[in-house]
Amino acid sequence: MTATIFIAKEIEGEEPRVAGSPDTVKKMKGLGLDVIVEAGAGTLSRIPDSEFEKAGARIGSTADAAVADVVLKVRRPTAKEIKGYKSGAIVIAIMDPYGNEKEIAAMAKAGLSSFAMELMPRITRAQSMDVLSSQANLAGYQAVIDAASEYDRAIPMMMTAAGTVPAAKVFVMGAGVAGLQAIATARRLGAVVSATDVRPAAKEQVASLGAKFIAVEDEEFKAAETAAGYAKPMSEAYQAKQAALVAEHIAKQDIVITTALIPGRAAPRLVTRDMLKAMKPGSIAVDLAVERGGNIEGAVGGQIADVEGVRVIGYLNVPGRVAASASLLYAKNLMTFLETMISKETKELALKLDDELVKATMLTHGNDVVHPNFGAQPDAGSKKEG
């Protein structure tokens, strides 16, 4: 029996991205899948309905979600959307599960098999499914572009007959995917770039991009990385030493970009008001972690705030600011994951519950919250999973 895929139009948070592209639709059709794209789903990502139709999709409406075996989304479905899905449907999206256990339980109650793409394990097999990396890469790029647009001076050094314009000094805090792309972008614009991170492996990566590494490199620093490659929370003593070093360095910078996030936790505070006060008037700071509480004191989600004379950019959904690019990458991430659920022999959906990718990303299945990190809510009619 042919499986039906529904690519939904996002309705919450003014989300401009879409969970499909003409290329992924072609691949789905090649796998024998029936693809329905909700009308207007790709408009804000510069993909008109006609492009989806040329790729082989049917253009439908919200009501078509009711017949879908698989629903592909960018954001977790709302309560209204959930009501329109059939029990047993597979829903794949960026679910933002931490702190939203009630919403996850509601999907369980509706009988949905839901998958959180941001929980994809960082293993070789899943690299092409890593939405955190694909979207963070663009966020790091856009952070520099946003900073440059607010900075009222030139970024590169310019030598003219009238004098020399010095290069802007850019400091990137957090050298993960977003941070490394921010470093690379700032370097391309001609800035003098430095960066910091608590993971020892980041030092070599930062240096390879031509930036100077700034960190207190003691014994705790040398052990500050999880097996999965994420930063570990650091002790208060280390944080104090690092903060002192960073404060001295920040005072000399023109632009600061913060990217530090720890999965499941509030964003660590990296930059205080006192640090901002020490910067030159007209300096710029960009907080890519503002949606998780922010790395910068005084950052305001969705706004450019004036904090101690520094313009602190706190834009929300930064990948969505380059939606045309972000959607193409995200759609490819989803397609690669979906392909693991399709039987090569029968071309039918074949969910493998013992697959390591499924175990890592599945939140709900068979009316239960099944992911070990998220307990079921009593009012959702789901039993507690260990």
Residue 211 token pair? 């930036």
61, 87, 127, 303: the catalytic one is 127
Residue 230 annotated as catalytic: yes
Do residues 155 and 235 touch, judged by C-beta distance below 8 A?
no
230, 265, 273, 303: the catalytic one is 230
Distance CA(42)–CA(37), nearest Å, equals 9
122, 128, 238, 269: the catalytic one is 122
Do residues 318 and 288 touch, judged by C-beta distance below 8 A?
yes
User: Residue type for 263, please?
Assistant: P
DSSP string, 169-190: EEEEE--SHHHHHHHHHHHHTT
Residue 10 token pair? 């996002």
Q: Cα dist. 242→178, 234, 245 in Å?
A: 21, 10, 5
69, 130, 146, 197: the catalytic one is 130
3-state helix, strand, coil in the chain (%, to 5): 40, 20, 45
Residue 98 annotated as catalytic: no
Q: What is the DSSP letter of 376?
A: P
21, 45, 113, 133: the catalytic one is 133
Distance CA(31)–CA(343), nearest Å, equals 9
Distance CA(347)–CA(153), nearest Å, equals 57
Residue 127 annotated as catalytic: yes
Do residues 168 and 192 touch, judged by C-beta distance below 8 A?
yes
Q: What is the sign of the dihedral through the CA atoms of 92, 78, 382 and 264?
A: positive
Distance CA(192)–CA(168), nearest Å, equals 6
- Residues present in the chain in total: 386
Of all helices (H) and strands (E), which one includes residue 191? none
Rg over alpha carbons for the chain, rounded to the nearest Å, is: 22
Residue 153 token pair? 């001076």
Distance CA(178)–CA(166), nearest Å, equals 26
Give the residue numbers annotated as catalytic, written as ranges: 122, 127, 130, 133, 230
